[in-house]
Amino acid sequence: MTNPFDPNDEYLKALKAAGLSDLPLQHLSATYLSELKLASASTLAEELYRQSRSLPTTLTSIAASTDIQSAERISNTLSHVINPALQLFGQKDLAGSHLVSALESLTTLSDPLGSLSQSEKLERFSGALTSFGSATDIAQHYLSSNLVNLGGESSASGLIASYLAAASAVEGFESSLAQAAQSLTLPGVYTTSHLLPGVTLDTATQLHSSVSGLAAIARSSVSTAFLDAGLRVHVPALEVYTSAHLARALTLRNEEPLATDDDTEAALDHQRDEFEDKLASLDADLVTLYRGALQAMDDGRPDWQRHAMTSLRELVSHVLHRLTPDGAIIPQAGAGDLYQGRPTRKFRLKIIFGTAIGPDLTQFFEADMAAAVELFDVLNKGTHKLGQTASPDQARYLTGRVVGLVTSMLDATNAANQARNN
């Protein structure tokens, strides 16, 4: 294997020009990473540790810059940390001392990420920093609870990899959006070439706030629920990943599509393959509603966007109400759980998720539902016009967004029912 470090790399030269002395020793390109074998895991773990030393200085220095390339350089810096970590934990047979070494190296990034997440200068990359922070939190949980030595090796690497995949997706969206915003605010420069026709920067920024907010709720929920909820904590990672890809597809041109993660994409496919059967078990008419939304996205009619958003919102609402009939849950209601005599959405979600996964992850799904409804409302307005038909990425991730949320509600209800029957 050749050393991929190139002293003429433009990114590294920019760091040197900024006067940063503690530079990464290797430029971990995708080609280099794809050649890594398990025997190199400890080397890669050491590289993560080295990266953690320079990360705060590098990012804050670049963030202070006002030139048009600063967003791209921040993106490169984050990618040089996220991508090696994802490659490392994506090795399915990572175990034993290699896994412990990888976990220990990942936890060294906890403090730097914590300080960076609070930086106003890096707010435009807050979602990526937060999602990466979720991975470091889980690594700390595995080490402190000794779960690695209790048969949790494959679950540790896979779970952490899912949050790193989410971090990579969010970082890609945030990078493109930050570059679009910079091009619109620099003196003498005005271009909307980064944005899809009909999309405003305000709308794109609103969707970014939704994604980064969801990532923040995911981190706080996972941190407190991890030991009790077990492997169910992988679901927020999937939702954040899907939300980032969808926000990117709905607002920004596809000249440089986001990198995808094979395992996460396979999980999305698996959810979608099983969805209609799960939906039909609740009510066959809901399958018709779901297919109507898919058909609207495929047909290319002038009103496809309104039709699809209306159908998807109705689908989510119908499932929510069918799983929590008023007559069954009103007797359980407490102060603040009813509005004008009917259960609130928050109370319905508490009923669905509270028994199966506990209050911490329930908080995440409350935020997930709110973000989904907000998305439907944004896309239902005439101010956010998409193309004549949904692009492949728009259709895939919009469907995945709804399928993920509804599947979580159905699975939680089934789990609660099984627990009551046992």
Low-confidence ranges of the chain (pLDDT < 50): 1-12, 14-16, 18-39, 150-151, 186-191, 227-231
CB atoms within 10 A of CB 413: 20
Look at residue 384 in the predicted model and tell me its pLDDT: 59
Distance in angstroms (rounded) separating the CA atoms of residues 218 and 400: 18
pLDDT at position 65, please? 66
| pLDDT for res 331 | 94
Q: What is the pLDDT of residue 389?
A: 76
What region does 414 belong to: left with phi over 0, alpha with psi -120 to 50, or beta?
alpha
* Six-digit token string for 192: 């909307």
User: What is residue 284's predicted lDDT score, i.e. its pLDDT?
Assistant: 94
In tens, the pLDDT along 312-365 reads 989 999 999 999 999 999 999 988 899 999 999 989 988 888 766 667 778 888
How many CB atoms are closer than 10 A to CB 321?
14
Residue 195 pairs with which residues in a beta bridge?
252
Closest CA relative to residue 65, chosen from 9, 109, 14, 116: 14
For residue 168, count other CB atoms closer than 10 A to its CB.
Answer: 25
**Structure confidence at residue 363 (pLDDT):** 84
Domain coordinates in residue numbering, the chain: 10-260, 269-421
So what's the pLDDT on residue 88?
79
The pTM of the full predicted model, rounded to 2 decimals, is: 0.84
Would you state the pLDDT for residue 12? 45
Q: In whole angstroms, give the CA distance from residue 193 to residue 252.
A: 9
Give me the pLDDT at residue 407, please.
93
Can you tell me whether residue 23 is helix, strand or coil? coil
Taking CA atoms, 169 is separated from 71, 84, 141, in Å, by 16, 14, 24
Question: Is residue 418 packed enough to be buried (19+ CB in 10 Å), middle (13-18) or exposed (0-12)?
Answer: exposed
Beta bridge partners of 170: none
Q: What is the pLDDT of residue 190?
A: 43
